[in-house]
Amino acid sequence: MTVEQLTNEFELARPQLKSYILRITASVEDAEDIVQDTFIKASLKLDNFLGDSSVKTWIFTIASNLAKDNLRAKKRWTENVTDICKAKAIANPNYFPEVMNIQATSPHGQFEVKEHITFCLTCISKSLPLEQQICILLKEVYDFKVSEITQILDTNEAMVKYYLHTSRAKMVNIFEGRCALINKEGACHQCSELNGIFNPKQDFEIERNKIEMARVVDKGDKEHLLNLRLQIMKEIDPFSSNGSDLQLHHLEHNRRIMENYSEKTEE
């Protein structure tokens, strides 16, 4: 493969790679750095590419390893991340003026419920062990096959299946217990609350019914509801969606809170 071929392949993969790394690290800066470092590393190791996987799989392997290095010393988030970060946002007098300003001035500052669903999924997935988070994202959001994930994670098929199954079971359980969109008893109403703040003239029930996952709650089994949630994530590019600036601001806020929260719990 020539450098030019790599460059072409890399540019094709770049949007997905960047969103994948963002969803693992929850950091725009780290995502940009890791994507750049991936290209440099791939260029330097061009001779190592033997064609036993697709170029995209090879690029994702390098990026995943860099992301794992980046995250090695950091604690995983907790399942109640949205509760913790909501409390911190409310306590911060600058938080809502900042986000209202983004909404007012950015072309990517709209609040959309489906985008918040993917934001929430990103945050909750960071409570999974890293290998499980990587597996579920690669398989369900970025369409990699189990055999390709074994290459990316340098493990065997049995372990990938174990990570996938376990991560799905945990996510189903967490969302069933928390998400008021799919469970009336769910404790988290954050998307409806935020929609009320950013879109006060909207009827939330109408917005809710635009989302298939919420529409089919009564007849959809839990696995299917998770698939629909992951499908929403698949369809949204966190760097270019209608509300990307708003959601990236939320994500950056949560990352700072959770890194600080983890440090405090270690003391």
Partner 1 sequence: MTTLASNGKALTIKKTFSRETAISIDIQADKSIIWALLTNSSDYPRWNSTIISIDGSITKGGKIQLKSALDPKRIFKLSVKEFEADSKLVWGDAMGKRVYTLKTIGNGLTNFSMNEKIGGPIFPLFAKMIPPFDNSFEQFASDLKKEAEAISRTK
List residues binding partner 1 (CB under 8 A): 146, 156-159, 161-162, 164-166, 169-170, 173
Closer residue to partner 1 (CB): 58 or 77: 77
Enumerate residues 6+ apart whose C-beta is below 8 A from 198: 99, 103, 110, 111, 246
Closer residue to partner 1 (CB): 81 or 128: 128
Closer residue to partner 1 (CB): 170 or 249: 170
Distances (CA, A) of 92 to 40, 45, 97, 99, 259: 40, 46, 10, 12, 17
Q: Compute the least distance from the CB of residue 151 to partner 1, in Å.
A: 16
Closer residue to partner 1 (CB): 166 or 199: 166
Q: Is residue 151 within 8 Å of 142, Cβ to Cβ?
A: no
Calpha distance 189→113 (Å, rounded):
11
Q: Compute the least distance from the CB of residue 220 to partner 1, in Å.
A: 19
41 burial (CB, 10 Å; 0-12 / 13-18 / 19+) is middle
Closer residue to partner 1 (CB): 98 or 223: 223
Calpha distance 79→87 (Å, rounded):
15
Q: Compute the least distance from the CB of residue 17 to partner 1, in Å.
A: 24
Q: How many CA atoms lie within 13 A of 233 on its CB side?
A: 28
Q: Compute the least distance from the CB of residue 74 to partner 1, in Å.
A: 18
Q: How many CA atoms lie within 13 A of 230 on its CB side?
A: 22
In 3-state terms, the chain is what percent helix, strand and coil (to 5)? Answer: 70, 0, 30
Enumerate residues 6+ apart whose C-beta is below 8 A from 112: 241, 242, 243
Q: Compute the least distance from the CB of residue 104 to partner 1, in Å.
A: 45
Closer residue to partner 1 (CB): 26 or 164: 164
One-letter amino acid for residue 88 of the chain = K
Q: Compute the least distance from the CB of residue 224 to partner 1, in Å.
A: 15
Q: Compute the least distance from the CB of residue 75 to partner 1, in Å.
A: 14
Closer residue to partner 1 (CB): 170 or 229: 170
